[in-house]
Amino acid sequence: MEQLLPIFIFIPLIGFVISFFFSSRNERLISVTAYTMVGIQLSSLIVYTFYWIFQNFPILDLKHLVFYHEENIEIFLDFYFDKTTAAFSILGAFITFLVLVFSKYYLHRDEGYKRFFNTVLLFYFAYNLTVFSGNFETLFIGWEFLGITSFLLVAFYRDRYLPVKNALKTISLYRLGDICLILALWTSHHIWHKNITFVQLDDVQLVAAHINENFYSVLFLISMVITAAAIKSAQFPFSSWLPRAMEGPTTSSAVFYGSLSVHLGVFLLLRTFHYWESILTIKLLVIIIGTSTAIIASLIARVQSTVKTQIAYAAIAQIGLMFIEVAMGWHVLALIHLCGNALLRTYQLLVSPSVLGYMIHDQFFNYSPKVYKITNSLANKLSNSIYTLSIKEWNLDSLLKKTIWNPFKIVGKSLKIFSSAYGITSLIILFLVGLCFFIFEKQIPVMLDKYLHLFYAFIGMIIILIAFAEKKNALYAWLLIILSQSYIVLAIALMNDKYEYMEILIYVASLAAAATIGIVILLRLKKLESTIDLNDFYGHAYLYPKLAFWFLISCLAFVGLPFTPSFIGVDLMFSHIDHDEYLLTFFTSISFLVLELSVLRIYSRLFLGPSKKQTHPIAYRSS
């Protein structure tokens, strides 16, 4: 039975590839291909699940494809099927099929018709890869694809200001969740000394033994998993990104943020439950996150003036309750609750434009203002305070900006001297000196060798922060990004005496190709437009769609999206960081966190947003 699992995962990908051969004007073929492929997957999945039930619910696990193998590291695809997978996969197929059929009419004659269906098919492939995953590596591949498709769909109306800005906000928090999962993978490698599968995590005795031997490492691993789950499901204090993500088309909001993507945090908790069910501290943490989210999100939802924001916070509140149910061990209840919430939010979002029309009509003829009584009681003052806080969404957006992103920008702006031509030249010379240290490592004094890798990792982190704050020249920012990654690779190579040259080559070759494509495109754009600063959104995708597409591909290759060798390189690099190298782990994590934000910021500023050409129509700030 397990040999059939890859079919369910790759059917949407086949539809994604087929749709590329159709003209963007042929709406019928594009939409029919999309919902036919998902319909085939849904019907076959239902038949398969019924057969699986008659076989008495066997746990299915399939090791499908090995990407990389050496003595201590093996990166492979692993597919898994159990009750949780069955519930998530059938729910996902049903909702995606309905939304694609609805979108056939909803997006009729929209300029991005083909782009929408292609992106949703890619999202659905990533969703299947995530829910059918049998190990953390496979789950992370789907998780990464979900992040980038979210960015593309939030910024679907790419000629408008707010969708592009909110897409960057969404991907920034998604990237934080990605880094948490990478750190969980890194810790797992050092605890288990191999790539652990979810089947092995279900072995209670084996897990208990490892928890006793590596309690604090396991505590850190699970904390990273819970943080990633909280971010993905927009739990407190990461709730503010979800209503901002509603800037995309209503149909993408329904399938992404009303039903499927937003519930994957619950899936992650269910999949890792046996790893943390015996740790009371972790269970209490999950319950506290769920409870605080349910209360605060409910209060915010009750006072919002936009229907999408109300639905978003209502969905968040229900997911908070699901977090509590998972922590209490009520998994069947959590799955039923999840299905009900997903279907309800999908329905609410799809009918929201019609409901708004009816409500406006009713308000026009039947509106009567509410009569307020002014009182100075303590209860009234408290109610007004909570009301004001809820209107402002508890200032969660500004809180995250001030505590997470502003410090990066402040450090980057304070070191602007390195963004000049002289600064880049000096950094290149310092890198070449480090390369000599790597070649002649045996001749380096012991004390210098002990701290040299930390110095280069720190410089790499500083460089990416400078690139993140650079606004004057996109080409300088791109060169700084290339330098920062070169420094990080060098730092890990200097730290590890057993670092394989092939592992360096896998990562560096992919980075070099992406960096070269990016430089060529930026030089071409500079020749066409004379200036390529990052002070505003310029919307060059309107005139240069091919340049925009290839620059996006180079950006995704740079950040290690799973279709590139650099994805394997990132996993290999983190695997070679020793478990007690806390500073190196911190510097590297910050570098990878800011890396994706920096490259997508360059892409967004140059190619997305309202076009600066006066001959082109200027879009509204929001949809």
Select the highest-mean-pLDDT range: 446-455, 504-513, 578-587, 597-606: 597-606
Select from 215, 319, 306, 211 the least CA-distant residue to 264: 319
Q: 178-187, 395-404, 502-511, 533-542: which has the minimum mean pLDDT?
A: 502-511
246 shares a domain with 119: yes
Q: At what angle do helices 501-529 and 565-575 cross, to 10 degrees?
A: 130
pLDDT the model gives residue 57: 83
Q: Is 30 helix (H, G, I), strand (E, B) or coil?
A: helix
As a three-state string, the secondary structure of 368-402 is CCCCCCCCCCHHHHHHHHHHHHHHCHHHHHHHHHH
Banded pLDDT at 205 (limits 50, 70, 90): confident
Q: Token match 């209107």: residue?
A: 391
What distance in Å separates the CA atoms of residue 607 and residue 623, rounded to the nearest whole number? Answer: 19
344 shares a domain with 464: no
Q: Mean per-residue pLDDT for 588-610?
A: 88
As a three-state string, the secondary structure of 44-72 is HHHHHHHHHHHCCCCCEEEEEEEEEECCC
112 shares a domain with 22: yes
Instruction: Check residues 287 and 437 and name the one with the higher pLDDT.
Output: 287
Banded pLDDT at 294 (limits 50, 70, 90): very high
274 shares a domain with 205: yes
81 shares a domain with 152: yes
Q: 356-360, 399-403, 482-486: which has the minimum mean pLDDT?
A: 356-360
Average pLDDT, the chain: 83
SS3 content of the chain, % helix, strand, coil (to 5): 75, 5, 20
Beta bridge partners of 133: 79
Q: Would you list the DSSP string of 267-310?
A: HHHHHTHHHHTT-HHHHHHHHHHHHHHHHHHHHHHTT-SSHHHH
Structure tokens at 579: 């478990």
Q: Is the residue at 409 inside a domain?
A: no
Confidence check: pLDDT of 333 > 90: yes
pLDDT the model gives residue 521: 93
Confidence check: pLDDT of 622 > 70: no
pLDDT the model gives residue 258: 75
Confidence check: pLDDT of 365 > 50: yes
Q: Token match 């922060």: residue?
A: 465
What distance in Å separates the CA atoms of residue 465 and residue 518, rounded to the nearest whole number? Answer: 19
Q: Mean per-residue pLDDT for 289-298?
A: 92
pLDDT the model gives residue 569: 64
What distance in Å separates the CA atoms of residue 252 and residue 119, rounded to the nearest whole number? Answer: 10
Q: Where are the alpha helices (DSSP H) in 107-203?
A: 113-131, 136-154, 161-192, 198-201
Q: Is the residue at 63 inside a domain?
A: yes
Greatest C-alpha distance within the chain:
86
Q: Token match 């002649």: residue?
A: 440
Banded pLDDT at 70 (limits 50, 70, 90): low
Q: Mean per-residue pLDDT for 454-464?
A: 88
| Contact (Cβ atoms closer than 8 angstroms) between residue 604 and residue 167 | yes
300 shares a domain with 217: yes
pLDDT digits (tens, 9 = 90+) for 568-592: 666 666 667 777 778 888 888 888 8
pLDDT digits (tens, 9 = 90+) for 549-561: 999 988 888 877 7
pLDDT the model gives residue 500: 58
Q: Token match 């969905």: residue?
A: 315
Q: Is the residue at 423 inside a domain?
A: yes
Select from 39, 61, 53, 56 the least CA-distant residue to 86: 53
Q: Token match 């478990």: residue?
A: 579
pLDDT digits (tens, 9 = 90+) for 17-57: 888 888 878 888 888 888 899 999 999 999 988 988 888 88
What distance in Å separates the CA atoms of residue 566 and residue 116, rounded to the nearest whole number? Answer: 27
455 shares a domain with 309: no
Confidence check: pLDDT of 565 > 70: no
Instruction: Check residues 77 and 373 and name the one with the higher pLDDT.
Output: 77
pLDDT the model gives residue 503: 66
| Contact (Cβ atoms closer than 8 angstroms) between residue 218 and residue 275 | yes
Domain-terminating residue out of 359, 388, 423? 359
Q: Is the residue at 24 inside a domain?
A: yes
| Contact (Cβ atoms closer than 8 angstroms) between residue 532 and residue 526 | yes
Confidence check: pLDDT of 567 > 70: no
425 shares a domain with 355: no
Q: Is the residue at 365 inside a domain?
A: no
Q: Is the residue at 97 inside a domain?
A: yes
Q: Is the residue at 336 inside a domain?
A: yes
What does DSSP assign to residue 81? E
Instruction: Kindly report whether the peptide bond that precedes residue 369 is cis, defined as omega within 30 degrees of 0.
Output: no
- Cα atoms found within 13 Å of the Cα of residue 303, Cβ hemisphere only: 16
pLDDT digits (tens, 9 = 90+) for 476-505: 889 989 888 888 888 887 766 565 566 677
425 shares a domain with 309: no
pLDDT digits (tens, 9 = 90+) for 80-92: 888 989 899 999 9
Confidence check: pLDDT of 602 > 60: yes
193 shares a domain with 74: yes
458 shares a domain with 328: no
479 shares a domain with 346: no
Q: Token match 């797992």: residue?
A: 188
What distance in Å separates the CA atoms of residue 132 and residue 119, rounded to the nearest whole number? Answer: 20
Q: How many separate domains does the chain show?
A: 2
pLDDT digits (tens, 9 = 90+) for 176-189: 888 888 888 888 87
pLDDT the model gives residue 351: 85
Q: Is the residue at 391 inside a domain?
A: no
Q: 140-149, 424-433, 571-580: which has the minimum mean pLDDT?
A: 571-580
Confidence check: pLDDT of 527 > 80: yes
Which residue range forms the structural domain that includes residue 531?
A: 415-607
Residue type, 555: C
Domain-terminating residue out of 344, 359, 374? 359
pLDDT the model gives residue 623: 45
Q: What is the separation, in whole angstroms, between the first and last Cα of the chain?
A: 46
Confidence check: pLDDT of 619 > 60: no
| Contact (Cβ atoms closer than 8 angstroms) between residue 515 and residue 482 | yes
Beta bridge partners of 68: 75
